[in-house]
Amino acid sequence: MDDPVTALFARLPDPMGDPRASIDTTATGMAFLLPFLSFKEDMSTRDSVDPDAKILLAYVNDIVKGRRKIYQFCSLLGRLALFKDPLEEGPLAKQRQLAYYRWIARGRKEEDYPFSSDGTLTRPPSNDPVSHEFLPRTSDSTRCAHCDKDSAPLKCGGCLVLIDKHVVFSTAYCSKECQVGHRKTHRAACRDWQRLGRASSMFQETLVELLKVTQTREWRTISEKDGMNVSVYEGLESRAFLGKHVLIPAEFEKAETPELALQTLMNGQCTATVVDSRALFEIFFRRTCKSAHVVGFQAKNMHRTILYGACTNSDGSARLEDVNADVLHQAIHITMPSGVEVSLDPTGVQYGWKDYLTPWDAFCQHRMHRLKKVTAMEPIPKAEWERLAGRLRLNGKYAVGELDSDPDSSYRSAVRLVNELLVSGLLWRTEILKSQGARAIEDLKGEEFDKMRTKIMASVGDSLREALRVAHDLPYYRLYFEWDFAIRATVNAKFYRLMKHVWLGEEEYAELRDHPDELARVYASRVLEVDNQLFHS
C-alpha cells in the first residue's frame, strides 16, 4: 500500500492540465477536495515516512475546516521545492507536482516549463537564464515602417519611448526619404506614443514617491537568494504597543540593492496604484486616451518573484509563507485616439519587469498567462473633481470615508486619503493641470516639457508632504492592541484620546520588550482602565 503522501500526490489533478490556472472553478476545486479527504482518512489509519507529511496534513485539515483556501495549498507545494531540485524529491508523483508548482512560484517562465510535449518530467536547461526584465524586441522594431526593408537604422524621435535606457517602442526607417513619405500616415500614432511616454513617466514617478511614504509593513531585510527576492517584514506588534500610524516610510537601506528595494516597494500594491490612484491616473491620462480598462490576469515570464513574510513567530524569526507569483496581477489597457493600444503596468516591477509601458499585443503574448477579469475605468464625475479641487474639505473636516478598525482596512483608507490629498494639492499648485489637464503639458516641445515636468514633480513632493501631515494629524489610523491582544486601528477622536494613556513611550517599550510577560501585563492593565472609562462614559 502506498505511503499516504505518495497517494495524495498521485490523486491530485494532473499538472499537465495546468490546474492552478482554473483553481477558482468548481470542477477544479472538487478535483482537489476529494484527494484531501482521502489523505485525511489515510493519515488517520497509518503513518507516513514522507518528511513533508506533517505540514501537508495541517494545510489539508485547515482547508477542510474552511480556515485556508485551496490556492494556499498550491502555494505550499511551490515553497516546498522553491530552493530544491524537484527531481530529487521522492516518488515520481510528488516530483511532478512539486516541479509544476515550483515553476509557478518561480514566475511561470516558458523556457523553464518542467514537462516535455509527451508529459515527461524534465529538468530545465542549465544554460544562461533568459532575462525577462524587458519584453523581447520584435522584427517590427527594425523594419522600415514605409518600405518594409529590414535592419532600418533610423528611428523617429517623436514616438521613441525609452525606459531605463531601453527602447520600449520605436518606429524605424531606412532613410530620411522613407520617413518623410510616411509622415502623414504616422502623425497620429506618433503623437499618441509621445503623449503616452510622457504621461506614463510622470505617473510612474509620482506613484513611486507616493508608495515610498505609504508603506504599512516595516522592512527588516531584503535580499536575493538563488534568483529570488526574499523580503522579511517586521510584525505590527511593536508599533501597536507604541500607537504608531498605519503608514510608514520605506527604508531602502534595508535592501541589498536599490532594484530589490523598488521591487519590494511595489509588492502587493496593485490596488493602491490601479484603484486607489484613479484620480491620479485621470490627471495624467484621461484627456490623452480614448478608453481605459483594468485587466486582472495570472502573469507569466516573471523575471524575479518575491518570497515574503513577517516576523510573527514566537522566537522572532520570519514566517515566509507567501510568493507574489500566486497573486492575481492587474494592469491597465489603454486605447488611444489613433488606435494605438498599450499596457500600463505600474506595479510590474514587483516581478522584475522594468518596462511599465509596452505595446498591448506583446504584453499579452509574453506576460499574460490567463485573463481573469476586465473592468472599464469610467471617468470620474464632475462633482468629484470639484470636491478634489476644493482640497477635500467638507464642513471644515477631511472626508476620510467610513472607517474600520481592521488594520488592513484602515491602511487602505489612509492610502486613499493621501491619494486624494495628493491630487488635490496638484490641482491647486499647478494651474495648467486644473484648467487644461496633462495633455496640454504632454504636447509641449522638448525643453518646455522638461521644465513643466520638473515643476509638476516638485508639486508632487510638496503635495505629498502636506498630505502626510494631514493624515498623521488626524486621530485615526493609530495601531493598538485590544484586550484580547488583537491588533486594531483607532477610528475616532474620543478613543484616540483614551489610547494615548495606554500606549507606551519609546524608552518604556525599550525597557520592557525583552520581558514579554511584564510588557503584556503593563499594557493589559492600562487597557482595562480604558475599558472601565468607556463603560462608565
Mind listing the pLDDT tens digit for each residue in 503-526? 999 999 999 999 999 999 999 898
Closest CA to 409 of 466, 474, 463, 479: 479
Closest CA to 367 of 109, 140, 193, 111: 109
Distance from C-alpha of 222 to C-alpha of 230, rounded to nearest angstrom = 6
Q: 252-285: per-residue pLDDT in tens?
A: 999 999 999 999 999 999 988 888 889 899 989 9
Distance from C-alpha of 46 to C-alpha of 52, rounded to nearest angstrom = 15
pTM of the predicted model, to two decimals?
0.92
| Cβ 322 vs Cβ 75: under 8 Å | yes
Q: 459-483: per-residue pLDDT in tens?
A: 999 999 999 999 999 999 999 998 7
Q: Could you give the residue ranges of the DSSP H alpha helices within 307-406? A: 360-367, 382-389
Mean pLDDT of the chain: 91
pLDDT of residue 432: 67
Distance from C-alpha of 282 to C-alpha of 289, rounded to nearest angstrom = 10
pLDDT of residue 216: 92
* Count of residues making up the chain: 537
Residue 534 reports pLDDT greater than 70: no
Query: E-assigned strands of 328-367?
Result: 329-335, 341-344, 357-359
Q: Which residues contact 97 (CB under 8 A, 6 or more apart)?
A: 9, 12, 15, 77
Residue 183 reports pLDDT greater than 90: yes
Least confident of 116-130, 318-332, 435-449: 435-449
Q: Which residues contact 433 (CB under 8 A, 6 or more apart)?
A: 283, 426, 427, 441, 456
Cα-based angle 212, 215, 219 (whole degrees, multiple of 5)? 95
Residue 314 reports pLDDT greater than 70: no
Q: 378-432: per-residue pLDDT in tens?
A: 888 888 887 777 765 544 455 566 678 899 999 999 999 999 899 988 888 877 6
C-alpha cell read off for 181: 513619405
> 3-state secondary structure string, 43-83?
HHHCCCCCCCHHHHHHHHHHHHCCCCCHHHHHHHHHHHCCC
Report how far Cα 42 is from the mean position of its chain's Cα atoms.
39
Distance from C-alpha of 439 to C-alpha of 432, rounded to nearest angstrom = 10
CA-CA distances (angstroms) from residue 59 to 36, 40, 75?
A: 10, 11, 11
Domain ranges of the chain: 4-112, 139-190, 196-396
C-alpha cell read off for 343: 499596457
pLDDT of residue 187: 96
DSSP helix/strand/coil, 233: strand
| Cβ 124 vs Cβ 133: under 8 Å | no
Distance from C-alpha of 269 to C-alpha of 331, rounded to nearest angstrom = 11
* Total Cβ atoms within 10 A of residue 123: 11
HSE of 20, CA atoms in CB hemisphere, 13 A: 29
pLDDT of residue 395: 41
| Cβ 438 vs Cβ 195: under 8 Å | no
Residue 191 reports pLDDT greater than 70: yes
Distance from C-alpha of 385 to C-alpha of 362, rounded to nearest angstrom = 35
Distance from C-alpha of 170 to C-alpha of 186, rounded to nearest angstrom = 12
Q: Which amino acid is at 501?
A: H
For 391-401, b where at least 16 C-beta lie within 10 A, e where not — what string? ebeeeeebebe
Q: How confident is the model at residue 123 (pLDDT cuts 50, 70, 90)?
A: confident
